[in-house]
Amino acid sequence: MTQIATTPQSLGQILARNRKKQKLSQQNISTITTIGQKSISFAEQGKSGVQIETIFHILAALNLEMVIQPREGNEPLLKNNIDKEEW
């Protein structure tokens, strides 16, 4: 199933949903990845400052991968026309 994340918050929701679907706690992911539970919580909340390496460790622990592709039907986001709801 394809899951689309366009914001840090939506990526966090995807991570949390998949973790719960696999019946894993944040502490389980922390043990698997050696990333602190607080960092996992921050990633799932879409908080700023979460390192991309942390995201990839969580994805690996959940047996997920990131796919980058062009947005459908949308123009590229430019600094002056970013939809504030999207960020």
Instruction: Compute and round to an integer the Cα radius of gyration of the chain.
Output: 14
State which residues of the chain have pLDDT below 50. Answer: none
Q: What pLDDT shows up at residue 25?
A: 98
User: What local confidence, expressed as pLDDT, does residue 73 receive?
Assistant: 76
Would you state the pLDDT for residue 77? 62
What local confidence, expressed as pLDDT, does residue 26 receive?
A: 98
Q: What angle do CA 25, 36, 42 make, to 5 degrees?
A: 75
Distances (CA, A) of 76 to 9, 41, 58, 66, 71: 20, 30, 28, 19, 8
1-66 is classed CATH 2.115.10.20: no
Q: Are 66 and 59 in contact (CB under 8 A)?
A: yes
